[in-house]
Amino acid sequence: MPEWTLLEAVNQAFAHEMRADKDVVVLGEDVGVNGGVFRATDGLIEEFGSDRVVDTPLAESVIVGMSIGMAAQGLKPVVELQFMGFIYPAVDQIINHAARLRNRTRGRLTCPMVIRAPFGGGIHAPEHHSESTEAIFAHMPGVRVVIPSSPARAYGLLLAAIRDPDPVVFLEPKRVYRLGKQEIEDNGEALPLDSCFILRDGVDVTLVSWGASIKETLEAANELAQQGIDAEVIDVATISPLDIDTILDSVSRTGRCVIVHEAARSFGVGAEIAAQLAGEGITSLLAPVKRVTGFDTVMPLHRYEQDYLPGVNRIVYAVKQSMEYR
């Protein structure tokens, strides 16, 4: 089987689905001739032509608005927005139109489109290139929010997102785009949306994360194992709608939970998970839910990024606090 990076897995998922379904089209700034800002669409225009791989003007609202019309008329557009920090001009189109089309038409029309954006910090870029504002879209009914954390999950979840009849915001953690490779069979098998993935079994504490922070979370679990603490690791993957049942089931066995994400701490997805654990899993908890997160500031530049992003030491410290709680 071929070995792909997360970025290559995205590219191969595109190619597979475009060969299988002529209604799938790709559009965005520089996605054609240049192959995308990170080269996620590299080679697609040569195989599928400029009618299906469309370079657009630099206008996010226009790109998404045009794609909503295409989706309503039977196509399956996949939009690339170059960075999550550039997504805000399109928020009106996403929230007021894409998310509401099924409800507005009482099911007569759907909006099968995917809005892709590289997101998160860790590559020493200016702040508009380092956003982690997934909670904005998770709060909006009618939109799925999917975040892969590995090449295999990027491939399977992107296939599922393209095939979904409703709009999907698909956020790709660029910090791990080229971090490592994984063997993946290019068989067109999608992974389930709306489901968490248990990456590591454990009995002492549940670690919940998504996106690039999965890397540090797994590293922390390995370090904790050397200290006699057996951590279960859950990749949320689809943050909206949230598969809270998998998290509740894990916490019912471990009694403790630490949530890890690089987005700002306040009003985030981690807070929602903690609230649901308090509401539905309080009798299972042996300690308060802990959160290891970014800070309530704009992502700092360059060397200060590493102080902002949740690291292994911060995760291990939070777990030990949870284990020592009486």
Nearest Cα to Cα of residue 139 among 323, 324, 271:
271
DSSP reduced 3-state for 211: coil
Domain 197-324 has CATH 3.40.50.920: yes
pLDDT digits (tens, 9 = 90+) for 52-111: 999 999 999 999 999 999 999 999 999 999 999 999 999 999 999 999 999 999 999 999
**pTM value?**
0.96
Domain ranges of the chain: 3-183, 197-324
Confidence bin at 323 (pLDDT 50/70/90): very high
pLDDT at 1 over 90: no
3-state secondary structure of 112: coil
**Tens digit of pLDDT for each residue in 101-147?**
999 999 999 999 999 999 999 888 877 789 899 999 999 999 999 99
Residue 302, pLDDT > 80, answer: no
Q: What is the mean pLDDT of residues 260-275?
A: 97
Average pLDDT over residues 168-190: 96
The answer to whether the beta carbons of residues 314 and 293 sit under 8 Å apart is no
**Catalytic amino acids?**
129
Q: How far from 123 is each of 7, 25, 230, 278, 300, CA to CA, in Å?
A: 15, 29, 31, 35, 11
Q: Where are the alpha helices (DSSP H) in 50-150?
A: 60-72, 91-93, 101-104, 134-138
| Torsion angle defined by CA atoms of residues 81, 82, 83 and 84, in that order, rounded to the nearest 10 degrees | 0
CATH class of 3-183: alpha beta
Fold match, 3-183 / 197-324: yes
